[in-house]
Amino acid sequence: MSQGKNILVCPLDWGLGHAARMVPVINLINKLGANAIIAANNGPLEFLKQCFPDIKTIKFNGYSPKYPSDGSMAMAMIKSLPKMILESNSAHNELQKLIGKHNIDAVISDNRYELSTSKVPSVFVTHQLNIQTSGWQIAAKPLINGILSHFLNKFDEIWIPDVTSNFRLSGNLSETNSFKSKLFNIGLLSRFSNSLITNYQETIDLLIILSGPEPQRTILEKLLLSQAQSTELKTVMLLAKPSEQIDKVVKNVRLISHLQDSEFAKLIQSSKIIVSRPGYSTLMDLAVFNKKAIFIPTPGQTEQEYLAKRLFNKGIAYTQTQNNFVLKEALLKQNQFKSLFMVNEPELLETRMKNLLKNY
């Protein structure tokens, strides 16, 4: 039933996380005999091109949100709302053209709310159905929920990248009383398969994994590079720049622009401690390897702040705010915490994908 079906996969351009978690989705589409077509832009497009050099790709523009260098992320998003609406409407209209031009049979959108369509089945992938708010943003929660419902009701299914066990990685983020008939857990989406897991000697003291949109990615890079160089730790910093070719050593820190998954997996397993943002895709990747980590939430991103605090309170991973981050202090305190490890349920994704290919 799936032979020859074309599935358009569209990740949000918000760092590389949304693109990275589409890797197992694309792999499964191809495994089941359908054809994955990638529609993305900027870093996500370059990343997925490198992962799947033989798959058709389409440059598909959309809204590329940026964090403020200081101040409120919520306020920055409100100010940019007119631009978001204009670019989202343009992407929605472009999707309708792509469906006809490339004979698309279904659309899988990772957090691109504008990419629903009545022409073919459309699936929305997200772990955030309960947006976290704080301060004055709490008053806007009903409005936020109303906007989410407006967009999500247009999709045929909503896939949550999480397991069904007692400890769910997303916690309250995926809790909702809405959309019950179209909600499906699909297990953790990590680009790292079991074949990449092995026993490597821990020869690297510290692995720093950068991620997320600018300018906060660069702000964190400068902060951690400076602090890592004040130690004698053998350190590797992954820059999350797939379009660049950087591999150099500055004092005790090796800077690498990007690595293929097999090399990235080896690097993670060869490292004693990992420092990163607690982005959801990063957490899903790290949960595969049972490694100790220190998390620094992106300032103003309530999702990361919630996830970091939750893992901290459960004794799983140490966290500090970016403004108060001291690497030497964090390295001492992380000894009190265990590591993040979860058993995945890959059959959940396969069930939903087979249903999409057969029944729609």
Task: Assess contact for 340 and 105: CB atoms under 8 A.
Answer: no
Sole residue written with tokens 């309708």? 96
DSSP 170: T
Domains and CATH numbers, the chain: 6-190+344-359 (3.40.50.2000), 194-336 (3.40.50.2000)
Q: pLDDT confidence of 1, banded at 50, 70, 90?
A: very low
Average pLDDT of the segment spanning 249-264: 95
Instruction: Please report the pLDDT score of residue 148 as a whole number.
Output: 79
In the structure encoding, which two tokens stand for residue 103, read together? 């004979």
Q: What is the pLDDT of residue 75?
A: 59
Name the token pair of 73: 């992320």
290 Cβ neighbours under 8 A, 6+ residues apart: 339, 340, 341
- Per the CB < 8 A criterion, the answer to whether 132 and 305 are in contact is yes
The answer to whether residues 204 and 291 touch, using CB atoms and an 8 Å cutoff, is no
- HSE at residue 212, side-chain half, CA atoms within 13 A, is 28
- The DSSP call for residue 297 is P
User: What are 74-91's pLDDT values in tens digits?
Assistant: 555 566 666 667 777 889
CA 242: distance to chain centroid?
15
- Does 352 have pLDDT greater than 90? yes
Q: Which of 351, 281, 303, 299 is nearest to 12 (CA)?
A: 281
* 212: Cα separation from own chain's centroid: 9
Query: What pTM did the predictor assign?
Result: 0.91
Residue carrying structure tokens 């050593």: 249
Instruction: Please report, to the nearest 10 degrees, the dihedral formed by the alpha carbons of residues 81, 82, 83, 86 taken in order.
Output: 120
Report the pLDDT value the prediction gives residue 252, as an integer from 0 to 100: 98
CA–chain centroid gap for 153, Å, is: 23
